[in-house]
């Protein structure tokens, strides 16, 4: 082959390779919307996965959507959200017959503290007072009811329960004096202590309940299993990163949750004790969730786990990680 032809062929091949590389680099990532009620510790695996590029590795562009807790199930069904991180309200919606399920767990114990105005030291001090929650039937609401019941209070009569929104909205209501107490994500306690509010009780000492997780619709489970596997694989990497990379996780927490270095370390340890690094949900926590939800919803029939959760994707992904 003449030298000139060899040079031309080499340039042609190089041009082809460059075009192939560019075509792959310009392929648009699949956009998915993950709902949160407010930035918090309960959904930190998704934030780590987003910042560390784990979703990007799966060809996903994650857009997190802040939305009031009670709106998540309907938003999943309408397609406004692909996934929700407020597993508690999704579970209770599934008990009521909505076609939604939790496909991955994050934490097996609550990461909430009951915070009150100065002078309120015990939960019994809330008799006749106003308490803010995110929505009726939400995890903070269920936790509050159980804590009140264990102290001999009537959760339906002894305090006025008001739906306000996520932890940030509830803290604002507490600061404004609109309410007397509220359950808050532990990530907010750094601020409440500086403001002089009381730590009434830690809900992790009251009952084991699942917290956070990823939930989606039955339709997506049936028609989009591969996307679910990719989302779970990336989020599991975020969960494992949380456990195995303490210092960098603390840096992410300080930035994302706006907490001090000292308090980040305390919060990290709280969450680490509750973390389910394999993305599952332990039976005791799920059984408690079902029991308390049935009591609140006044449901008498037995609710099988399979009505609420679908962990087959986690089981498929785990052995390959």
Domains and CATH numbers, the chain: 30-109+210-320 (3.40.190.10), 112-205 (3.40.190.10)
Q: What is the pLDDT of residue 270?
A: 86
Q: What is the pLDDT of residue 302?
A: 94
pLDDT at residue 97 is higher than 90: yes
Which has the minimum average pLDDT: 43-47, 88-92, 260-264? 260-264
Q: What is the pLDDT of residue 320?
A: 87
The mean pLDDT of 215-221, rounded to a whole number, is 98
Q: Is 165 exposed, middle or buried (0-12, 13-18, 19+ CB in 10 A)?
A: buried
* pTM, entire model: 0.82
User: Which residues have CB under 8 Å from 239's CB, separation 6+?
Assistant: 45, 48, 106, 275, 276, 277, 279
Distance CA 286, CA 95 (A): 12
Alpha helices (runs of H) in the chain, residue ranges in sequence order = 3-25, 44-51, 54-57, 72-78, 87-95, 139-150, 167-175, 189-194, 218-223, 225-244, 246-257, 261-274, 283-297, 312-317
pLDDT at residue 241 is higher than 50: yes
Task: Determine contact, residues 292/155, Cβ cutoff 8 Å.
Answer: no
What is the tens place of the pLDDT at every residue in 53-71? 999 999 999 999 999 999 9
Q: What is the pLDDT of residue 161?
A: 96
Comparing CA positions, the residue from 21, 216, 219, 240 lying closest to residue 102 is 216
DSSP state of 39: S
pLDDT band at 27 (very low <50, low <70, confident <90, very high): low
């Amino acid at each position: 082959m003449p030298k000139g032809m060899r040079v031309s062929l080499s340039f042609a091949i190089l041009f082809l390779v460059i075009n192939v590389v560019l075509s792959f680099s310009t392929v648009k990532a699949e956009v998915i919307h993950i709902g949160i009620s407010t930035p918090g510790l309960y959904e930190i695996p998704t934030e780590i996965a987003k910042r560390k590029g784990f979703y990007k590795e799966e060809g996903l562009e994650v857009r997190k959507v802040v939305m009031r807790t009670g709106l998540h199930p309907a938003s999943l069904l309408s397609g406004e959200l692909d996934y929700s991180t407020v597993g508690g309200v999704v579970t209770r919606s599934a008990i009521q017959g909505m076609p939604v399920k939790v496909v991955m767990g994050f934490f097996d114990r609550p990461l909430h503290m009951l915070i009150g105005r100065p002078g309120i030291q015990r939960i019994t001090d809330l008799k006749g007072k106003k308490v803010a929650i995110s929505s009726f039937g939400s995890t903070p609401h269920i936790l509050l009811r159980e804590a009140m019941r264990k102290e001999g209070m009537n959760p339906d009569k002894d305090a006025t329960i008001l739906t306000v929104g996520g932890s940030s909205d509830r803290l604002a209501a507490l600061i404004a004096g609109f309410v007397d107490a509220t359950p808050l994500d532990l990530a907010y306690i750094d601020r409440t202590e500086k403001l002089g509010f009381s730590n009434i009780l830690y809900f992790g000492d009251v009952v084991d309940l699942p917290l956070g997780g990823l939930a989606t619709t039955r339709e997506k489970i049936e028609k989009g299993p591969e996307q679910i596997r990719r989302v779970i694989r990336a989020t599991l990497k975020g969960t494992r990163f949380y456990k195995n990379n303490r210092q960098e996780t603390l840096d992410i927490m300080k930035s994302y949750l706006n907490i001090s270095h000292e308090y980040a370390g305390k919060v990290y340890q709280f969450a680490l004790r509750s973390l389910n690094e394999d993305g599952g949900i332990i039976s005791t926590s799920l059984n408690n969730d079902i029991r308390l939800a049935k009591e609140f919803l006044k449901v008498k029939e037995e609710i099988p786990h399979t009505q609420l959760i679908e962990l087959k994707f986690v089981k498929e992904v785990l052995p390959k990680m």
